[in-house]
Amino acid sequence: MNPSQLAAELSSIGVSPSKSRGQNFLIDDSVADRQITYASICPEDTVLEIGPGLGMITNRLASKAKQVIAIETDKKLADYLSKKLPSNVELITADALCVDFPKFDVMVANLPYSISSPIVFKILNYDFRNAVVMLQKEFADRMVAKPGSKDYSRLSVSTYYRSQCRILENVPASKFYPAPKVDSAVVEIIPREPPFTLSNKSFFFKLTEMLFQHRRKKIRTILKSKRLIEMDGDIPYLDLRVETLSPEQIGELSEAILALNDR
């Protein structure tokens, strides 16, 4: 479907793409086809899709999977889809951030930029095989960034702890209608067991958030300013800068601070 055809279809159902909802519709069939291929869907799979739009991805999923669960927050789009989608698609009209997801094996979605972060972290609380999601390229770059790189962030650490991620391809803004101001990327997410052990996950994630508010500072400076340590003790990596620490090293730091404060 080209941009003029898609605009006419949206107009016919009374939908004007919403910037606040991040409604940018994929118009390139080859990109959609590759997303389905990347997902490696089996005939017995239940697939979750968030933001089905006009059903471009949904129909492809339905031809491969046993069941598709599509969650659409826009009532006009949901009404349109309810008349178009095959019988193995369960359509849920709701905000994906506000509902519990049914059991699923695979997730495939072109996520609105405005909800990318909360949705990614929400799905990682579920048991599934893999996800293939379209995200803002800048966000995707931060998800997969390595220590020492300009994109390395709290998001990089949190994602690494919960999953294996990789960028499968970059998608230019011209592949969407209306064209967003930034490019996108297709990302594969595979949940995994954490690569290191933590005695207090909550403290680890709070520490990570705090450290990356000062990513260029040395660990010693940050911890003393926050009064997490009074003396150096057995705390590692005090003379390293936050942006150079691997997730494993932040884990070690977290455990050392907890141990020191328990004495």
The first and second tokens of residue 37, run together, are 């291929």
Does 240 show up as a binding residue in the annotation?
no
Name residue, tokens 């006419």.
8
The answer to whether the annotation marks 88 as part of a ligand binding site is no
Backbone Cα Rg of the chain? 21
170 marked among binding-site residues: no
C-alpha distances in Å from residue 178, one per residue of 10, 25, 53, 171, 221: 11, 7, 13, 14, 46
Is 130 among the annotated ligand-binding positions?
Answer: no
DSSP H helices, the chain, are 3-12, 29-39, 56-62, 75-82, 116-123, 137-144, 154-162, 201-211, 219-225, 247-262
CA distance 70 to 11: 22
Which residue do the tokens 């799979």 mark?
Answer: 45
8 A C-beta contact, residue 108 and residue 39: yes
Q: Is residue 2 a known part of a binding site?
A: no
Q: Is 51 annotated as a binding residue?
A: yes
| Residue set of the binding site for S-adenosyl-L-methionine | 24, 26, 51, 72, 95, 110
| Residue set of the binding site | 24, 26, 51, 72, 95, 110
